[in-house]
């Protein structure tokens, strides 16, 4: 199997290299390297969103959780609907805002809307968090999987560097467009492999298919039902919850945390750089809400029932019958990780380059210079990734645990940006600060540091079976809504109102429809993964309206999941097509000016520091140092250039 596996991974690398080289050969504007000319093909975005959702759960991790906890863990997959809703709404608003106000990155969008450098820094922090510890953790796990699959022929460290290099080279050559196109193919391959492997395994392996074969969980774990709405449980590491950790509240908070992946800067950037058209709707409704959620709810339990000992054992069992089938299982595990790594490291590095390096350190880079700078940054980013994954797997794992919940803390900021103009900057910042604090102290990061330095805390990870994202978001929203009430006027409000009025034209949504939609969405959420989901435990096996027992042959909870998955698809369909968020149209009309001063330049201390180190000719002239280091952040359209008639010397403002 080792040889075949290496050949398959090699072919994957050749495919990426081919597309990187082809992208480089197109000969488009060098600046397109960073954003694909803001015209990424619609189909690539369509395929990538569901795969991002699946990798947010983690293929190997989700399979292990389902094989350990059964259908209660599988229930989290209903959260793909929430993810689809978040994606279609925020992508659409950000896409429109980008074209309306000449924004280039998610950080710039949020920063300029709230007129806050702090929010830009927070966005950059998110980029780094996803690009380094989060991705390094995934890379370390993928390398470990390869080590196990090859029986140690390829060590974990070696696999880390080979993977890092094989992802870095295509990204450095082809940039954002090439990476996105390769990832789209990988997404499609994953969508085929998951059900394909399940079907193949059921045909060639002996034994019954799930649910005839019950989930091989430990004693005391309810594999076919949700263990209550909430449990008085101190958290992981403190005590053991009864019947399993995935209570209804745990499921809902975990499902909501999946929306954090949509709010990660790289995912927002993907939506921002897409071409106009129906891509968001198709992606959210049919591929994420429909296909990906369906595969996770229907296929993964069947697959997980066969692999209590993990992917490698299952791969070996299949490889004994058909070696290439075993390779496919390992490929699925590895590809799930390298998909996310490639996406977050490339996206994150490009964003950090644009937000930090190009804006503040080297504001006067030419287009070719920007491309070169981005290539160097990508090399540096992948090198740091390899370093973390190879030598700091534990630190990476600890920091990776807070990536999704921390990204979710940007939700109020994005809601304010996209829909609610009365959410103020102070409220958003206060909410993020306190929400993040709560996230950190309900995850290993805060617990390990605090308990190591001071005393043992009375709670562990996810106290009361509530995901850290849920704790953080609850306090965050509370603070945002309470403090936003106090500040509703001023020039900021006028500017925001103009911005929101302009955005409201795309798409034209009626209030009546929206009210009904949100009412149904809340009802759906309550029953699908909220406290109402507990009804699904026995609803179809022991109906409450009769004494008779129903024999349906499958667990009642599984039927409940399928039912609310289908209702969820209808919900996303309504939002995308009926309300209109699923389609983006060409944005015409007068550009909007958003916050921030007209121009910014490198801070003096950075400029003088750089001048001491590098003698950059042409960057700063001694007679007027401010003039040349100035980089206009607003689009050219907003800057009114005086039209001077030749030889007349009169100035007229156009």
Kindly list the residues in this chain that would bind other proteins in the complex (CB under 8 A): 8, 15, 19, 22-23, 26-29, 37, 39, 41, 43-44, 47, 181, 184-185, 188-189, 192, 196, 200, 204, 321-325, 327-328
Q: Within 10 Å of residue 603's Cβ, how many Cβ atoms? A: 12
- The DSSP symbol for 461 reads B
Q: Which is nearer to other proteins, 124 or 191 (CB)?
A: 191
| Nearest distance in Å: CB 262, other proteins | 22
Nearer to other proteins, 192 or 309 (CB): 192
Question: Whose Cβ is closer to other proteins: residue 328's or residue 346's?
Answer: 328
> In Å, what is the CA distance from 394 to each residue of 147, 293, 399?
18, 31, 9
**Nearest distance, CB of residue 270 and other proteins, angstroms:** 15
Cα 378 from Cα 539, distance rounded (Å): 53
CA quadruple 89, 92, 98, 101: dihedral positive or negative?
Answer: negative
Judge whether 46 and 282 are in contact, CB under 8 Å: yes
Nearest approach in angstroms of CB 153 to other proteins is: 22
Residue 296, CB-side half-sphere exposure with 13 Å CA sphere = 34
Least distance (Å) between residue 181 CB and other proteins: 4
Contacts of 283 (CB under 8 A, 6+ apart): 45, 46, 47, 48, 49, 50, 87, 88
Rank residues 86 and 327 by Cβ distance to other proteins and give the closer one. 327
Structural Rg of the chain based on CA atoms: 25
C-alpha pair distances (Å), 465 with each of 291, 398, 434, 468, 595: 29, 19, 20, 9, 41
- Give 303 or 596: the residue with its C-beta nearer to other proteins: 303
CB of 189 to other proteins, least distance (A): 4
CB of 271 to other proteins, least distance (A): 17
- Least Å distance between CB 329 and other proteins? 11
For residues 626 and 601, is the Cβ–Cβ distance under 8 A? yes
CB closer to other proteins out of 2 and 28: 28
Q: Which is nearer to other proteins, 29 or 151 (CB)?
A: 29
DSSP, res 215: -
CA 60 to chain centre: 17
Q: For other proteins, give the closer residue by CB, 204 or 639.
A: 204
**Smallest distance, other proteins to C-beta of residue 26, A:** 5
Place of tokens 């490639």: 342
Nearest Cα residue to 279 out of 592, 638, 585, 636: 585
Cβ-Cβ contacts under 8 Å for 199 (sequence gap 6 or more) = none
| Paired residues of 319 in beta bridges | none
For residues 292 and 299, give the distance between their C-alpha atoms in angstroms, rounded to a whole number.
10
Euclidean distance between CA atoms 51 and 339, whole angstroms: 8
Write down the least CB distance from residue 415 to other proteins, Å. Answer: 33
CB of 634 to other proteins, least distance (A): 26
Is the CA virtual torsion 547, 553, 557, 561 positive or negative? negative
Contact yes or no for 32/175 (Cβ under 8 A) = yes
When the beta carbons of 274 and 596 are compared against other proteins, the nearer one is: 274
Separation between Cα atoms, residue 101 and residue 635, nearest integer Å: 8
3-state SS class at 277 = strand
**Closest CB 10 distance from other proteins, rounded Å:** 13
Local structure of residue 95 (DSSP, 8 states): H
**Among candidate residues 357, 352, 359, 353, the one with its CA nearest the CA of residue 599:** 359
Nearer to other proteins, 322 or 643 (CB): 322
Tokens of 315: 């791969």
Cβ contacts of 545-553, under 8 Å, gap ≥ 24: 553/211
Among candidate residues 563, 464, 54, 523, the one with its CA nearest the CA of residue 253: 464
- Least Å from the CB of residue 200 to other proteins: 7
CB of 269 to other proteins, least distance (A): 18
Burial label for 627, CB within 10 Å (0-12, 13-18, 19+), is: exposed
If the CB atoms of residues 59 and 534 are measured against other proteins, the closer one turns out to be 59
- Nearer to other proteins by C-beta: 277 or 289? 277
Between 321 and 599, whose beta carbon lies closer to other proteins?
Answer: 321
Smaller CB separation from other proteins, 132 or 193: 193
The 3-class SS string of 32-71 reads HHHHHHHCECHHHHHHHHHHHHHHHHCHHHHHHHHHHHCH
By beta-carbon proximity to other proteins, the closer residue of 188 and 234 is 188
Shortest reach from residue 295's CB to other proteins, in Å? 15
Q: What minimum distance in Å lies between the beta carbon of 582 and other proteins?
A: 17
């Amino acid at each position: 199997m080792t040889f075949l596996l290496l050949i398959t991974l090699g072919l994957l690398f050749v495919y990426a290299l081919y597309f990187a080289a082809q992208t480089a050969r197109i000969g488009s504007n060098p600046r397109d390297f960073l954003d694909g000319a803001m015209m990424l093909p619609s189909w690539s975005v369509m395929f990538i969103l569901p795969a991002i959702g699946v990798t947010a759960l983690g293929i190997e991790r989700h399979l292990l959780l389902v094989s350990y906890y059964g259908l209660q863990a599988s229930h989290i997959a209903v959260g793909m609907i929430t993810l689809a809703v978040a994606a279609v709404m925020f992508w659409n608003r950000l896409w429109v805002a980008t074209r309306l106000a000449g924004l280039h990155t998610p950080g710039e969008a949020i920063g300029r809307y709230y007129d806050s450098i702090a929010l830009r820094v927070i966005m950059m922090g998110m980029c780094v968090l996803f690009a380094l510890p989060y991705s390094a953790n995934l890379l370390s796990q993928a390398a470990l999987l390869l080590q196990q699959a090859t029986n140690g022929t390829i060590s974990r460290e070696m696999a880390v560097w080979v993977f890092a290099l094989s992802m870095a080279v295509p990204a450095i050559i082809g940039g954002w467009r090439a990476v996105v196109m390769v990832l789209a193919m990988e997404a499609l391959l994953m969508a085929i492999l998951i059900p394909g492997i399940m079907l193949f395994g059921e045909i060639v392996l002996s034994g019954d298919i799930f649910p005839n074969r019950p989930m091989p969980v430990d004693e005391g774990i309810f594999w076919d039902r949700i263990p209550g709405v909430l449990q008085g449980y101190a958290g992981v590491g403190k005590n053991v919850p009864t019947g399993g950790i995935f209570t209804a509240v745990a499921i809902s908070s975990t499902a909501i945390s999946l929306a954090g992946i949509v709010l990660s800067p790289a995912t927002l950037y993907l939506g921002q750089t897409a071409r106009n058209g129906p891509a968001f709707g198709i992606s959210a409704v049919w591929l994420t809400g429909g296909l990906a959620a369906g595969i996770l709810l229907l296929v993964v339990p069947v697959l997980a029932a066969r692999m209590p000992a993990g992917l490698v054992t299952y791969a070996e069992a299949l490889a004994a019958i058909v070696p290439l089938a075993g390779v496919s299982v390992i490929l699925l595990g590895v590809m799930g990780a390298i998909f996310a790594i490639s996406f977050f490291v490339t996206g994150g590095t490009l964003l950090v380059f644009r937000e930090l390096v190009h804006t503040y350190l080297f504001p006067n880079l030419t287009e070719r210079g920007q491309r070169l700078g981005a290539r160097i940054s990508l090399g540096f980013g992948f090198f740091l990734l390899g370093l973390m994954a190879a030598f700091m797997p534990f630190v990476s794992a600890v920091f990776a645990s807070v990536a999704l919940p921390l990204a979710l803390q940007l939700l109020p900021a994005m809601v304010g940006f996209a829909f609610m103009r009365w959410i103020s900057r102070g409220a958003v910042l206060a909410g993020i600060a306190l929400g993040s604090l709560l996230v950190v102290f309900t995850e290993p990061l805060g617990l390990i540091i605090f308990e190591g330095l001071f005393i043992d805390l009375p709670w562990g990870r996810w106290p009361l079976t509530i995901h850290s994202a849920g704790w953080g978001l609850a306090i965050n929203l509370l603070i945002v809504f309470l403090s936003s009430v106090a500040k509703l006027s001023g020039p900021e409000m006028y500017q925001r109102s103009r911005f929101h009025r302009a955005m409201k034209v795309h798409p034209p949504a009626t209030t009546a429809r929206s009210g009904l939609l949100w009412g149904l969405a809340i009802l759906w959420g309550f029953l699908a993964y909220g406290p109402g989901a507990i009804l699904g435990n026995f609803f179809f096996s022991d109906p409450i309206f009769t004494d008779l027992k129903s024999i349906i042959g499958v667990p009642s909870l599984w039927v409940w999941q399928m039912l609310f998955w289908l209702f969820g698809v209808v919900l996303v369909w309504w939002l995308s097509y009926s309300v209109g968020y699923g389609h983006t149209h060409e944005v015409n009309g007068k550009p909007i000016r958003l916050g921030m001063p007209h121009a910014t330049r490198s801070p003096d201390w950075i400029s003088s520091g750089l001048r001491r180190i590098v003698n950059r000719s042409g960057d700063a002239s001694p007679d007027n140092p401010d003039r040349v280091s100035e980089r206009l952040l607003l689009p050219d359209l907003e800057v009114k250039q005086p039209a001077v008639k030749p030889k007349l010397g009169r100035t007229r403002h156009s």
